[in-house]
Structure 1
């Protein structure tokens, strides 16, 4: 059996005495847990440690694997100048991982020195790697590494990457331990690095208890409205490690959890047993765990048209033809509505409750509303500069919303505005900034105008005009 186990480790440099200078004693249970994880590593004697750390070179849509024969790191950024660590990269496992990923549709980069120059990145052991390895080195040092940073990949893609890692380890034949480096919430106290957020303690409790009770599915399917405000950095490391042991029988043990500095620290090990277990990925891929049966079930004709346009473009690169699409429609009223008028349209797409793309037109630029929807659905899924283009594997998880705009009318005072009922357009010369109505987190007229001005690059001292409009919003009923 090639995978010897998983250790989960936090990585605050303050835990090392030469940096903490006594403050580390406030996290004594975490230090004890780190020594226990190091003893576990010593006992299983891996040839390779696959280090999964959030603080390497992080990309928004893919993983980064450092591709260099020898990688070094230190703790000089934290005032400890005498400690340096260098480890050889496992050439055999790197070859196996490269071969394995060729068959995947995931985004990744094997970063060489030339790539690091291009991306203004560094090929080094970051503190997310050095701190856990500092404790491991006290017990065991006869190992090579591979260094992986998950970036901000979708959680399920992160799990799938872990599955490919597990297959590569198996094919390499090298005994390998996976180090999942990461802190939990940074928002446990106002005195911590970030302000307190109520999601912080909840996130930590769910992650710790789910690991203890082997409810890995609760970790992989966690919603972004929980883990994003929690300000954590360890979730994807844990998920990638779990993906590597998909289909294997495991025995998890949490050694410690505490949050003495306003940041959650968990230490844990996951033993890998010989027995085979059911594949969590098969459950997730079939949509039989914690998901709605059909995300499109309660969509109206407007949303279906936008979704069909998006799906057609993402899968084929060809724009949907309205004349062909309408032949399959039975609702003549809908056809008459969208063919009989022109209007500005915004198409918004969301995934896991988070915006994935939003593009629209203030005034119509096509022949009718139907073609406006088709056009803007394509723009939203593939050409919103804030996001990478939607990929085919994401389509089943995308929620679609369509807003049909009324004709904008100029307002003479802010009293004529209402962020719940009216969208706003701020115009100065050729620059225009638009904000739709009834958006989460936009509660006042002042906020609405400020955001619209920022989008247009209009400064407060400039002359500008304000317009309001209403929308007919089409979104699936919950």
Structure 2
């Protein structure tokens, strides 16, 4: 290469790096711009992450964990300052412990900004002292596409040029951050809470969310500034409509001012969407007002926590997952012991012992995943897909990685060890398929690959969520960071594998 050619090459590389850095900076600045900063931290709830966690944990300790015999699809939660309504809100959010949701759709009223549409925050995220929760942009777009009444906008969300800033979406998020992992949000503010708008929004959410694992939260307080007993009477009438799942009756009562709720539209929209998504039952978890929480009963505000749920089948059959690879009960017990001892030792910083293994099945080369849960919630999951090492060595390595190196979670702490449960999935070799008709839900896990993006979901994930084949494909695309319909594209590769799945009781 001549001197001129070398100079030209170096200049080209420098220019490429320069424009790449500039594009990266523009992208970062754009993303930063779309993050809504906390508007009421330090007012409605503590601005310190430590103090906020401590306060919510105190609320949870005081809230009863009740039996909700089904899948929670929607809920009503108050949005006053935490010292007033946090105790009531905790009754609802505590029921979500150990649950998994892809997306939480939060519907709130607009207290300070006037507009006629239903405003869906389109991108970026909402920040609280506990971190940023990102917007499910795809779901937001799908909801907005259902009606011209629904717009992608920062109306009702924005803080610029407003004397008072909206709080009704924001105050729900720290509770969600305390009980859920790996979820996104769709923040929605209703400028006009007419019954027509509530119907439009409820139907739009139901259509957009079909086949997805979503939770819908109606952010609302009840009656405002009545004497204590008068407030209780008014709120009791509203609660009776909720208990009967009578959203049309509730909407009419609100229009006639027989009952009060600053988020009446969000409540009605949530009830409509939840019903269309299969929720037929209601459970009232807690009612109180500011006279109960703060003592002054002359002018109070009412607070309600309630959930709408899809009832479980009576005596459901246990769903079979994966396949039998011939591991004996003793083999399974030894692998669980290897995984658990490895986790304990690596978390405590102690040497991992050498394990005496003689079973031919454990000496076979196999891929495997180790899943760690705490109180039923995912705490770490790492695996090796291909059979590179003997099964027991694979389990040992991925157990350590799941405990210490899952990028979604902080490393497991020694004080958590007694609360952890371990599940192992021993894998077959993935096979590329030509048709999605080859996928058997319950038997197969999926790998979807397109370009440099790849996502994997284990067989038990589909059965845990009750997905059908296409829902499983969409979820795996989402895991890969791809559009949920990427599985339909000709350059997308789909692989299936199966697993023998077992764990601690």
Q: Shorter-chain TM-score category?
A: 0.3 to 0.5
Q: How high is the TM-score relative to the length of structure 2?
A: 0.39
Please report the TM-score for the alignment, with normalisation by the length of structure 1.
0.41
